[in-house]
Amino acid sequence: MKKEDIKLLGDAHIATSIDTPLRPDAFDKSDNEKINAIQRHFEAIMHELGLDLTDDSLSGTPYRFAKMYVKELFYGLNPNNRPKISTFHNKYGYKKMLVEKDINIDSSCEHHFLPIVGIAHIGYIPKDKVVGLSKINRLVDYYAHRPQVQERLCLQILKDLQDALETEDVIVVINAKHLCVSSRGIKDKNSSTTTMEYGGNFIEPEQRNSFLKLID
């Protein structure tokens, strides 16, 4: 790709697919093997920047960085880390909308590897299945912890919940600030981005509006 196109795609924050682009061999290496390799690579980056890695304050940084990438910021790349979403039979017959508000989003932009910070609101209308509430938060956390594009994050959470709950009647709204917009490039400190994905009953404006009123 040409340098000009690289810049354009990053500034526009465009994703190429709903699935996170992963290679088939993405998890052939163990986490520890990845940490060791990334540690070496990041050491080289710091070295290129002219930093003195024999300094006590810097010497442990490549390891800390590598461990943070594999075990924390990007643990959600590995499907083995997907939280188990146990569902229960909807024995109360609750068939109205259920809303989970203000779920933390801690993600990273895949174009600049800088934080995306915000909140998600999720609503669904149960059919035969209901889910433990904290499981929704865990699922959001899992998909957020990959290099992301906000639109894709919204869609990945929606699809997974639709599958787990066996209903199309799910809506996901995310409002987030992108550090790549506030700390570099245009350096806009105030703007935020809102994305919304939904299916089933939420296609009806009335249903969607009653959800939006609740999260207002």
Tell me which residues touch Zn ion (CB under 5 A): 109, 111-112, 180
Whichever of 34 and 112 has its CB closer to Zn ion, that residue is 112
User: Going by C-beta distance under 8 Å and a sequence separation of 6 or more, which residues neighbour residue 109?
Assistant: 13, 115, 116, 147, 148, 149, 178, 179, 180
Residue 43 catalytic? Answer: no
Only one residue has tokens 């006590």, namely: 56
φ/ψ region of 162 (left if φ > 0, alpha if ψ in -120 to 50, else beta) reads alpha
Shortest distance in whole angstroms from residue 178 CB to Zn ion? 6
Cβ 185 to Zn ion shortest distance, Å: 8
- For the question of residue 72 being annotated catalytic, the response is no
Catalytic residue from among 43, 145, 156, 180? 180
Question: Directed axis angle between helix 133-144 and helix 150-165, to 10°?
Answer: 140
Q: At closest approach, how far in Å is the CB of 5 from Zn ion?
A: 15
- Would you say 11 or 31 has its CB closer to Zn ion? 11
Residue 180 a catalytic site member: yes
**Is the Cβ of residue 125 or residue 174 nearer to Zn ion in the bound state?**
174
The yes-or-no answer on residue 110 being catalytic is yes
Q: How far apart are CA 78 and CA 27, in angstroms?
A: 7
- Respond yes or no: is residue 154 known to be catalytic: no
- Other Cβ atoms less than 10 A from the Cβ of 49: the count is 7
Q: Which residues are catalytic?
A: 109-112, 150, 178, 180
